[in-house]
Amino acid sequence: MTGLLARYEHLIDCGQLQPDPDQRKAAIRLDALQKELEAERPGGLLAQLFGKGPTRPRGVYMWGGVGRGKSMLMDLFHDTLGIAEKRRVHFHAFMQDVHAMMRAWRKADPGDPIPKVALDIAQDVRCLAFDEMVVNNSADAMIMSRLFTQLICEQNVTVVTTSNRPPRDLYKDGLNREHFLPFIDLIQVELDVIGLNGPTDYRLDRIGDLATWHTPLGDAATEKVREAFFRLTDFAPEDAANVPSEELPVGGSRSLHVPKSLKGVGVFSFKRLCGEPRGAPDYLAIAQHFHTVIIVGIPQMGPTRRNEAARFVTLIDALYENRVKLFATAAADPDGLYPSGDGSFEFERTASRLNEMQSDEYMALGHGQAH
């Protein structure tokens, strides 16, 4: 039982997964891609028969809402792919590496760095697997078409990726999007696009027995949101010190540091989000980028914390309107966060939204999906 499809069917037989037609369709396609890559490897069956080097099988672009099984299938694909020349990486981290490589090449050689970067990446990689392809800034958008044309068409790298969006919605309404459109065309021509967008959010199964709002502040509350993070991201708790951080672009001119960021889950402190001068663009960037946000250390507020409270109201509005799932540790329940004094009346709507965000109906909504 070494292939992806056999492993997937075993997980269903064992009751660890539920049968899902969209998932099975994707599993069949990924299993076929595995066989192509393994047959085409140096020394593989086709190379032995015809004495030729490896060719490039078509890649796969899996898209769908949160919790539909994309990362699970990617895990199975990478784990069971029987070639050494493979790499799995979060897309955001990959693009950070690309920018660093481009800077290094510009210092060493005044010529175009993109073909050189593509050649460096492809040295020991025939299959490049990405989690969460998303484009948030013009710098990435400007280079992706040329870089991936080099990787796929010139270096014969097979690309497999997941995304929450169909190709046509990548970098939607972004600055200078016309420079990005050839990349969308490249995906449509070179990759098989597979939708996993059924009605079931399987990720909810992992957190179904966990409350989202934890009070009072303290170790017990912190442990609860910590558990939620590891359930949502499949990251090993014993490796907690190595959870990656992220610099989230805001408005194209600056970035917001995210202390812990993985698989669409971002972790922040209240002090970092609302105790520092921030505005609606910061909170909108967070709400659009993360399907789940964890906020720790929300204090009780009042007239002496009017600025922090106003920022918190703006933050919750952005999260609510984008249907972001919220886990929090707080000094009080939502109705007790701003109990009295000037500003308490205006805070009532925020408290109402915080209460609604804990409901099963809200938690079942997809990221960005309207009521």
Encoding tokens for residue 155? 């270096």
Specify the pLDDT at position 208.
65
User: How many CB atoms within 10 Å of residue 173?
Assistant: 6
Residue 156, helix vs strand vs coil:
coil
DSSP conformational letter for 215: -
104-120 burial by CB neighbour count: b if 16+ within 10 A, else e? ebeeeeeeebbbbbbeb
Specify the pLDDT at position 51.
47
Residue 293, helix vs strand vs coil:
strand
Distances (CA, A) of 347 to 155, 271, 279: 56, 18, 17
Residue 13, helix vs strand vs coil:
helix
Predicted confidence (pLDDT) per residue in 76-131, tens digit: 999 999 999 999 988 877 888 899 999 999 999 888 999 999 999 999 999 999 88
Encoding tokens for residue 15? 């009751």
DSSP conformational letter for 72: H
Cβ(288)–Cβ(256) below 8 Å: no
Specify the pLDDT at position 9.
93
Max CA distance (Å), the chain: 81
User: How many CB atoms within 10 Å of residue 123?
Assistant: 8
Q: In the CATH hierarchy, which fold is given to the domain comprising 4-195? A: Rossmann fold (3.40.50)
Cβ(19)–Cβ(50) below 8 Å: no
Specify the pLDDT at position 318.
93
User: How many CB atoms within 10 Å of residue 78?
Assistant: 18
Specify the pLDDT at position 197.
73
Specify the pLDDT at position 252.
65
Residue 220, helix vs strand vs coil:
helix
216-235 burial by CB neighbour count: b if 16+ within 10 A, else e? ebeeebeebbbebbbbbbeb
Encoding tokens for residue 174? 């972004």
Cβ(144)–Cβ(135) below 8 Å: yes
pTM equals 0.62
10-residue stretch averages of pLDDT, the chain, 371 residues long: 86 84 93 91 52 73 82 90 91 86 91 94 93 81 92 95 88 84 94 82 66 95 92 80 85 84 91 92 90 95 91 94 93 94 86 92 72 47
Domain boundary assignment for the chain: 4-195, 203-363
Please name the CATH architecture into which domain 203-363 falls: 3-Layer(aba) Sandwich (3.40)
Write the burial class of residue 304 (CB in 10 Å: 0-12 exposed, 13-18 middle, 19+ buried): exposed
